[in-house]
Amino acid sequence: MGFPKTRALKALVSTGGKNVQAACDWLFSHVDDPFLDDPLPREYVLYLRPSGPLLQQLSHFWQQSRLSCGKNKAHNIFPHITLCQFFMCADGKVEALSDALQTTVAKWKGRIPLPLPLELYTSSTFIGLFVEEQVAEVLKSFAADFATEAAAKADVHVEPHKKQLHVTLAYHFQTSHLPILEKLAKNVDASSGCDWLAVLFSRDIRFANHETLQVMYPYIPQNDDELELVTGDFIFMSPVEQSSASEGWVYGTSLGTGLSGLLPENYVNRADESDTWVVHGYGWDLPTSQPSLSKMRLFVCRHGERMDVVFGKQWVTQCFDSKGNHALEIWHIFILCLPARSGGHWDYDKDCPITVFGSTQAHLVGEALLESHTTIDFVYCSPSLRCVQTAQHILQGLQQEAKTKIRVEPGLFEWTKWVSGTCLPTWIPPADLAAANLSVDTTYRPHIPLSKLVVSESYDTYISRSFQVTREILAECKNLGNTVLIVAHASSLEACTRQLQGLSPQNSKDFVQVVRKIPYLGFCACEEMGETGVWQLIDPPILPLTHGPNHSFNWREMLMQD
């Protein structure tokens, strides 16, 4: 495309070598970056990352410790075991460096004892899980072999980690927080099942000692020395550069554009250092374990266009007379046949259906999945009627309506804080849905029953609930099918997948900003990496639908904001 080789290589490396499109997008966004042609290489590091039950426990510890004691230095980077020190690698050698990792992993497959024996250690300033010395020496030998391969293939010097190998749980925390953190750490079962991935990460060395911030709100510069802010972008800020900033402002550099300038401090929040790191290669299944029968995929989809949004909160009075009969022609144009409700038509006020257009949207999604040769093995949905109807029409488009039943799971309902009034909706029971010719599994027993849902739950409760029910659904389907579809709410695309990837939950403000941008039938896909229990977001098998005031939905931009 006419780009100089140095710029092309920098773009590929800065995007983890994902694809040409990602590299081109990076180049176009950095066209004014004053350091675009800087030959300075990136810094690299090799970590072991946990997966499976241990990762879930560590993620829970991360979340609880942050809520109880605030952020400490351990929160800057995800749970890991450091295998080598940071080292430099020229852009043109990165592919060879990744090959060196793959070669080393292939050589060591099956030679590392399982599970890694980890022992809790605490002091007044540090809490961690240390690898038993004999096994740690085996891991150090693996790291030494990687260093040899890296020198031979990529001409780089890698120094294996010489100190005790460990997973850091907390450090640089207030002394008064030690009892709380120690109690939380003791709840982590270090013997939990776990596979480990050897993962190669890189970072921009220029910003290694900077504070990482994330943009919360967009900002258009008012003066030449100010920086344009795009929601979700990251900003690097160094304390030594703040002399030019007045009170309420900071000076920083954008990850997205490479440009620097002043920005309003209340438009950004602190982020974790590793949020801006780039992944360059996985060493699959470093310690071998019993594989599951197949790699699993999870699809999460928002419901179709809802009636109350199109016609307003008074739509029930427009469509029904006082006796509950259909009142207007609008009914025949915009509403499908509805199941009878034991509580009468007013129950639709809090549990509205989708419109005819919403059903068409859902049917199109099903047809697109069919054309992509995708088969859905299990369908779970929120108890909201709009979600059940959407799932039904997706199955019809897939031509799986007869053989695949919808499992109605109350645990997939949206954040109850968003429900108006003092009580939750009265949902239609599965038996009544089935009687109305909806393909609902009347024998399914929910993981979280209706009785466990409460009005105005906290954000943390909602996030924990969504993560819990997603894990239990996947465990229930393990080895019985490859692909699970969840049809729920806009918030579900974030809440059901983020912690599954080993990421900490976003704060509630960030979460709301993401959810607001997800359109009807917004769709994302998550896949188990190898047979490890670690999940990552992947390209869905279908193109996104765009409808309503939302911008074009891009799962990569919205759901991968760490």
How would you classify the pairing of strands 535-538 and 406-408? Answer: unpaired
Catalytic residue among 42, 75, 302, 447: 302
* SS3 category, 175: helix
161 is catalytic: no
- Verify whether residue 302 is a known catalytic residue: yes
Is the alpha carbon torsion for 364, 367, 368, 369 positive or negative?
Answer: positive
Round to whole Å and give the CA distance between 307 and 329. 15
Among 71, 14, 5, 16, which Cα is nearest to 41's? Answer: 14
Euclidean distance between CA atoms 506 and 523, whole angstroms = 20
What residues contact residue 464 under an 8 Å CB cut-off, 6+ apart? none
How would you label 428-451 residue by residue, b for 16+ Cβ within 10 Å and e otherwise?
bbbebbbeeebbbbeeeebbbeee
Provide φ and ψ at 379, rounded to 5°. -125, 125
- Rounded to 5°, the CA angle 138-144-150 comes to 140
Residues paired with 306 in a beta bridge: 354
CB count in 10 Å sphere of residue 202: 22
Tell me the two tokens of residue 246: 């007045």
Among 42, 161, 345, 489, the one annotated catalytic = 489
Residue 489 annotated as catalytic: yes
Sorted by sequence, the CB contacts under 8 Å of residue 351 that are 6+ apart come out as 384, 385, 386, 425, 426, 427, 428
Beta strands (DSSP E) in 57-125 are 81-82, 87-89, 118-122
Nearest-angstrom CA–CA distance, 235 and 251: 9
User: Are residues 42 and 205 in contact, defined by beta-carbon separation less than 8 angstroms?
Assistant: yes
- Judge whether 111 and 56 are in contact, CB under 8 Å: no
CA–chain centroid gap for 445, Å, is 27
- Give the list of residues 6+ apart from residue 365 with CB closer than 8 angstroms, or none: 301, 394, 397, 521, 523, 542, 545
Sign of CA dihedral 411, 416, 418, 423: positive
Alpha-carbon gap, residue 562 to 540, rounded angstroms: 20
DSSP 518: -
* 166, 303, 393, 465: the active-site residue: 303
φ/ψ (deg, to 5) at 151? -65, -40
The tokens for 265 are: 């401090």
What is the dihedral sign for C-alpha 186, 191, 197, 199? positive
Catalytic residues: 302-303, 489
